[in-house]
Amino acid sequence: MDIHEYQAKEILANFGVMVPQGALAYSPEQAAYRAREMGGDRWIVKAQVHAGGRGKAGGVKLCASDSEIQAATENMFGRKLVTHQTGPEGKGIYRVYVEAAVPIDREFYVGFVLDRSSQRVMIVASAEGGMEIEDISAEKPDSIVRSTVEPAVGLQEFQCREIAFKLGLRAALVQQMVRTLQGCYRAFTELDATMVEINPLVVTGDDRILALDAKMTFDDNALFRHPQVAELRDKSQEDPRESRAADRGLSYVGLDGNIGCIVNGAGLAMATMDTIKLAGGEPANFLDIGGGATPERVAKAFRLVMSDKNVQAVLVNIFAGINRCDWVAEGVVQALREVEIDVPVIVRLAGTNVEAGQKILAQSGLPIIRATTLMEAAERAVGAWKNDLNQATRVRAV
């Protein structure tokens, strides 16, 4: 789960990370009022969307008066901000963050991520702040500083000092950097985050180290332990299909293809998508219905997949271990009788109670295309989709 910049800054500030003074606004008038409350003569207005690259897309504006603030926010509210991370559909702007401008002396990049190879939290830092980390690694790889944290002892002061010196910080600023890095690490570990990124982390003209921008991502599976974090979720920034799936306890990622996938297990779902590609098709989604594939759960999955108007065939691929094939078959039959599905449905079952599951499908009287192997299922799904596509083309031609 992602959160907004202002939410990340509030969290990090509670862990001792210094941030500029700022306030949230939901209208141009409120934005101007927030600036007057803070005082000063220059402010930054930032669109609050779950995406990077806001500045290049017009989502960050430097303002020097009430009229400039109102003009900037008028231009932002209600429109879609399109960046390299949002794709062409963009993200809607419904709130802005007004922040007091600060004099910047130097900019840095600091990120905390999970390194799967070492199974440790890794700190990634660079003296080239303000750039995306992908650009930094491509253009100036030598500027990147990496340090892994031993979980048994946590982030030590000597590691923080070593990072600070490698970034070229003056001795007078090292202790501030130590507090900043340790605060980020505590927020990362105590709240089950999967990423903390400050870009840029700046040294101001009066020798303060401030988080000028901040991003945090959290482990969805651990949100039950942190209700205060779960409440920060903004569904307006999410794919509506993924929001509906999360609300129903399903793991779903929307894609751009046209063959819907209903699979149990993340690994099998990935293999299913790869096999569809190999057979010449494009998957429309990643959908893992999990271990408890009851008939009701399968029916929910069908409704979710069919809410995507691009879906032109549905492939159900179940390998039953914890699951039972007869439950899945009952769910498929129930879904086809309850949900309006006008596309080919291909079902491949294997594992526990597979014979009973196949019998339920055969006796249902429904136009279900059955397969015994994953490759056969993918080929039949792609073939059914292409056949329907050819029929639609002939109808239009007539």
d(CA 256, CA 261): 12
The residue to which tokens 């599976």 are assigned:
221
Q: What is the DSSP string of 188-237?
A: HHHTTEEEEEEEEEEEETTS-EEESS-EEEE-GGGGGG-HHHHTT--GGG
Instruction: For residue 348, say whether it is annotated as part of any ligand binding site.
Output: no
Phi-psi region of 154 (alpha: psi -120 to 50; beta: other; left: phi over 0): left
Q: Is 102 annotated as a binding residue?
A: yes
Catalytic annotation, pick one of 109, 128, 252, 379:
109
CA 11 to chain centre: 19
Amino acid at 370: R
Residue 91 marked in a binding site: no
CB 220 within 8 A of CB 251: no
DSSP label of 291: S
Which residues, 6 or more positions from 4, have their beta carbon under 8 angstroms from its beta carbon?
A: 48, 49, 50, 95, 97, 232, 234, 237
**Has 105 been labeled as part of a binding site?**
no
369: enclosing H helix or E strand? strand 368-371
How far apart, in whole angstroms, are the C-alpha atoms of residue 102 and residue 18?
13
Q: Locate 392 and state its tokens.
A: 């639609």
Contact 283, 255 (CB under 8 A): yes
- Catalytic annotation, pick one of 5, 128, 197, 242: 197
**Strand 313-320 vs strand 345-351: parallel, antiparallel, or unpaired?**
parallel
Does 199 belong to an annotated binding site?
Answer: yes
Tokens 């009788």 appear where?
A: 337
Tokens for 183?
A: 């605060």
> Is 225 marked within a binding site?
no
Among this protein's residues, is 109 annotated catalytic?
Answer: yes
DSSP string for residues in 339-364:
S---S-EEEEEEETTHHHHHHHHHHT
Q: Is 53 annotated as a binding residue?
A: yes
264 is in an annotated binding site: yes
Q: Does 139 show up as a binding residue in the annotation?
A: no
Q: Give the start-end residues of each E strand in 1-118.
A: 22-25, 43-47, 60-63, 80-81, 91-92, 96-100, 104-115
Task: Quote the CA–CA distance of 242 and 252 in Å, as a whole number.
Answer: 6
The answer to whether 308 and 282 have CB atoms below 8 angstroms apart is no
Known binding residue 16? Answer is no
Residues annotated within the binding site for substrate are 264
What residues act catalytically? 109, 197
Residues annotated within the binding site for Mg(2+) are 199, 213
Residues annotated within the binding site are 46, 53-55, 99, 102, 107, 199, 213, 264
Residues annotated within the binding site for ATP are 46, 53-55, 99, 102, 107
